[in-house]
Structure 1
């Protein structure tokens, strides 16, 4: 049996038990202090790393988050006519963009940063912004609210093509009301103040700011310029006034001046529209040119389109038929053939020629004149004036194929004029290793193809004294004379002055021997030549039986030509010749052009010369 503990022993035991808890908290405190020291050490180490070793890296990252880069678009150059009237310009417009997240928090980074005032402003902001937008952009406030309050978006395009001044007015109201959340993105808009005027020549720029046709596309490098940029520090409330700011100014595009006469272009287009209505034709075009310089005064197409809204247009009406459409010229080609024969000394205008009733190549293929006749005798002048295919073949056979080809190429056939409009066709001129019947058909305008610009330049060279001038439509760049680098504009003689005078006389005889008033202009002696040819049908690889291309070229005054007008009509439903369909267009445009350029009337009257 164990003896009971004494009173002193029991007290000592209780004392020891009472002291034991004092040891445990001290150890815990030490452990806690050690843990805190470790944490602070880690923080200090991290701070040392951030502030000392990686300071530059983290500073750069923070700066990058604050920096914004904005492209500063270059202003596209203007296009104007010969008198400085604007045909195309760039309007300073913007896209209005909303940030619904910023609107919802009144520009604060998080909801927690918002004061009670911020919450009050933010609650009313969408309605206020919607009302501001409606006042300046139209529509109702309710139409804007869904975009301003989209909880999942920070980027909503509210409107496009808004004038910059309009957005400035919007921004002024926002500043006054202490509202945030709307900003602008620079997005210039190309404008064409005359709508469809010369649109087939000028072309257009799409909504993305990309040139898509005409001179806008072919002169893209000159017109576009070089964009600049601005790099700046920003906060949720916008640009930081004293932050870093780097500005690289844009280099604006060059201003281009054309040889086109705005007013004459309009009159020509109106006359073509009337021709389409009168004849039901598929299309028409007219070239007005100064034959002494090669300058285009008008290049009109119909149907046409509005460069401001190309999306609503028929694609086939958006090309420049004057440079892209290759067709058989018909009897207008006889101007070139007779110029070659006269210049080479092969024929004389008074030379009498026996013209057969028909020329047969085989049992199927033969050539006839437009009017029925037996064997007749015509002077060379009469063959031209009466437009005899058979007489032209008879005379052209006196020349070698190589001679004819040489003259045709000198007149510019078979190659692009490089006038500067994209998509230009070179036409088709058969080489010298051709069959006899091909040479025959080429002489009167069949079996080869041209563009209206080629033919106008060729005839201009023949009637102006015999010097070929490359056709031009671009005259200046930033007010200084401009020559296209890939176009040879050096004038070159192609026939003699005497030959030029002889051909002009032939053209006057055709005009004098026509009964239509379309070949007579009061006070002026004029020369003309008509053409009619069948359109080629690729579907059957043959000539169409019922689709024609008809044309007429006229020059005046015939003794000193100052204006050349060439009209071409594709597939007229009413009328089947150049004299009936194209000549009235030539007449009306010529009648407007002569007094417009103060061309003096002729001092003498034309005299009919013997044809037979």
Structure 2
């Protein structure tokens, strides 16, 4: 009896299990044939994906908050060929029309990757364009929101700000140098999505995003505008290859303008000339010529062997050292030390340098920052170099004293001249508004002040660099002209022209360095080519910043003759 009862219960259990299995199979069969949408929906809801939580790239502004680089939302269209049915593939002509792409090209592109899960179709579309494409309702076509970089100041700041690639990563300039700050780090979230790419449910945040940081530069866009257009006008007038200008606040070391011409429009990449992309004010090094003489002069004054009125014989206008002939453009017999700077005498400077020796000069140049990298964090900067001889020849000593055998960039010249503006304190340069570096004592204060007064005479003397003057302000500065090297030697009749100075000379608030590369029209001397650019930029900057004038007395009109400009090399 018990055996029969057990067999009965076992049979009942089997029948129940069979009935349940039949019910499940029947339900699945029904859903598959008559209610497949339910299964699809449930399957869709169980598709787990990890998706990026994008972080908007940081804003770059000038010191006053004017935008220099911003990110705007754009649409990226992509497709998953594995999701596309025959009827979807048949609509490729509609898709191609909406994307503005040839039908045959797009059709081949999609059909040749049937097993791919992701293919870019278009990037950087406006949100409206993206929505119009998604409105076509083609299965397998998806939209992702991204961000495109836009540069409101265009060519004015192109080499300084740089640009990003299509993925929003910095490639040049500030965009590259501060890429970690600007880009932040995308987060990751876990979501449930359907095959159409629509999010069904946000599950959890797997990785928290790291916010990007905005950057406020020390640049003043108004002054950048002045510097850029003054360079543009001068490059075209003098037929130069290029021009660079760096305007600095000597009290803080902050760069208020760093301009280069020619430039490019980073918003129109199809027209970019790669040779215009580098920031020449930082990447191009050159022999500076006579703008180095004030540092050699300061070493001479510091030696105690010379003062401003010490006389130096420069007759008969040429001087032979180690078989090399040094010549002066201005023919004089005797010059004071101040007149050596006013007349830019290579002979006078050479004789002074030979008297004090090379070591005091090269040490002063090193304290002025030459040969060392700037503290800007700018990619591609070339720090230049100082001569380093175990045994110095007389010609090596002489040539260094008037600006040959060493290499500098335009920004280094601006930084070095802050020493004269600050009575001996070097103000390290900065490109960030809120990052002021501590100043360094680089020269005896009295020596620096004395040299600044000598540089004031270089501009204000009747035979001085008249084209550098600024109405209403005292200006101190020095012009320079140096032969351009290349191909293993100096190029014939090819020069770089420079002027570096400060204003107001009584209490300098601005230092400006201008370099013009290879002028071919009108002339090439620094006093003729670069000094007028200096005057135009400095005058505009002083007015824009409302810096009080220090020279309101009536001034006489100075006849500017070419022979006078030739004296200021």
TM-score, with structure 2 as normaliser = 0.82
Aligned positions of 1:320-359 closer than 5 A: 320-357=279-316, 358-359=318-319
Is contact 2:321-2:394 (8 Å) kept?
A: no
1:305 deviates by: 1.7
Q: Per the alignment, in what secondary structure is the counterpart of residue 417 of structure 1?
A: coil
Matched with 1:558 is: 505
CA distance in structure 2 between the partners assigned to 1:404 and 1:151 by the alignment: 70
Partner in structure 2 of residue 478 of structure 1: none
Q: Tell me if the contact between 1:147 and 1:156 (Cα under 8 Å) persists in the aligned partners.
A: no
What residue in structure 2 maps to residue 279 of structure 1? 238
Q: Does 1:535 align with 2:484?
A: yes
2:148 to 175, 178, 189: 189
Deviation of the 1:570 alpha carbon: 0.8
Counterpart among 543, 551, 576 of residue 524 in structure 2: 576
- Is the contact between residue 290 and residue 296 of structure 1 (CA under 8 Å) also seen in structure 2? yes
Distance verdict in 2 for CA 1:350–1:516, change over 3 Å: closer
Pairwise CA distance, 1:403: 1.7
Shift of 1:94: 2.8
Q: Which residue of the other structure, out of 345, 350, 375, is the alignment partner of 1:418?
A: 375
Change (3 A) 1:148 1:392: closer
Give 1:278 deviation, angstroms.
Answer: 0.8
Q: How far is the alpha carbon of 1:406 from its aligned partner? A: 1.6
Q: CA deviation at 1:401?
A: 2.3
- 1:549 paired with 2:525, answer no
Relative to structure 1, the CA distance from residue 269 to residue 165 in structure 2 (aligned partners, 3 Å threshold; closer, same or farther) is: same
Distance 1:599 1:143, change over 3 A: farther
Structure-1 separation of matches of 2:89 and 2:336:
95
> How far did residue 165 of structure 1 move?
5.7
Distance 1:509 1:231, change over 3 A: same
User: Once the two structures are superposed, what CA deviation does each residue of 1:23-80 show, in whole Å capped at 9, x if it has no partner?
Assistant: xxxxxxxxxxxxxxxxx9xx99xx9xxxxxxxxxxxxxx9998222222332221111
Q: How many residues align?
A: 513
Choose 228-237 or 443-452, whichever is displaced more: 228-237
Q: Relative to 1, partners in 2 of residues 1:97 and 1:394: Cα closer, same or farther, differing over 3 Å?
A: same
Among 343, 350, 362, the residue aligned to 1:386: 343
Q: RMSD between aligned alpha carbons?
A: 3.2
What's the offset of the Cα at 1:310? 4.3
Q: Which residue of the partner structure matches residue 29 of structure 1?
A: none
Q: Is the 8 A contact 1:147 1:158 kept in 2?
A: no
Question: 1:159 maps to which residue?
Answer: 122
Q: Is the 8 A contact 1:89 1:190 kept in 2?
A: yes
Q: 1:501 is matched with which residue?
A: 449
Cα distance in 2 between the residues matched to 1:152 and 1:497: 73
Aligned to 1:602: 550
Q: Is the 8 A contact 2:58 2:213 kept in 1?
A: yes
Superposed displacement of residue 462, structure 1: 1.8
Matched, 1:305 2:267: no
Change over 3 Å in CA distance of 1:291–1:143 after alignment to 2: farther
Equivalent residue of 1:393, what SS? Answer: helix
Distance in 1 between residues matched to 2:216 and 2:202, nearest whole Å: 43
Decide whether aligned partners of structure 1 residues 507 and 607 sit closer, same or farther in structure 2, where only a CA change above 3 A counts: farther
Question: What is the CA-CA distance between 1:391 and the residue it aligns to?
Answer: 0.8
User: 2-side partners of 1:70 and 1:306: how far apart?
Assistant: 34
SS of match in other structure, 2:181:
helix
Report SS of the residue matched to 1:509.
Answer: helix
SS of alignment partner, residue 287 of structure 1: strand
Change (3 A) 1:215 1:534: same
Correspondent of 1:462 among 409, 414, 420:
420
How far the C-alpha of 1:329 sits from its partner, in A, is: 0.7
Shift of 1:126: 6.2
Does the CA-based 8 Å contact 1:329-1:531 persist in structure 2?
A: yes
Give the match for residue 33 of structure 2.
none
CA distance in 2, matches of 1:570, 1:287: 15
After superposition, the Cα gap between the structure-2 partners of 1:590 and 1:229, relative to the gap in structure 1 and judged at 3 Å, is: same
Aligned twin of 1:96: 77
**2:352 alignment partner in structure 1:** 395
Which of the residues 161, 184, 187 maps onto 1:228? Answer: 187
Is 1:508–1:606's contact at 8 Å kept on the other side of the alignment? no
Alpha-carbon shift at residue 312 of structure 1 (Å): 3.5
Query: How many Å separate the matches in 2 of 1:450 and 1:493?
Result: 21
- Within the candidate set 80, 84, 103, 2:65 is matched to 84
> Structure 1 residues 243, 463: closer, same or farther in 2, change over 3 A?
closer
TM-score by length of 1: 0.76
Q: 1:182 to 1:578 in 2, by over 3 A?
A: same
1:265/1:298 contact within 8 Å kept:
yes
Within the alignment, does 1:523 sit opposite 2:504 as a pair? Answer: no
Distance 1:402 1:142, change over 3 A: closer
Give CA deviations for 1:164-212 in whole Å, capped at 9, x if unaligned: 46535655x46xxx76443113432222122222111111111233321
Shift of 1:412: 0.7
* Superposed displacement of residue 261, structure 1: 0.8
User: In the aligned structure 2, how far is the partner of 1:414 from the partner of 1:596?
Assistant: 33
Tell me how far 1:504 sits from its aligned partner: 1.7
What is the distance in 2 between the residues matched to 1:449 and 1:151? Answer: 56
For residue 156 of structure 1, report the CA deviation from its aligned partner: 4.9
2-structure distance, mates of 1:98, 1:354: 82
CA distance in 2, matches of 1:85, 1:248: 33
Listed as ranges, the matches of 1:114-129 within 5 Å are none
Which segments of 5 or more consecutive residues in structure 2 lack a partner in the other structure? Answer: 1-17, 26-42, 557-569
Listed one character per residue, the Cα deviations across residues 400-440 of structure 1 (whole Å, up to 9, x for unaligned) are 32222221111111111132211211212112532221111
- Partner of 2:85: helix, strand, or coil? helix
> Which of 251, 256, 259 pairs up with 1:292?
251
1:84: how far off?
A: 0.8
Structure 2 CA distance for aligned equivalents of residues 408 and 334 of structure 1:
10
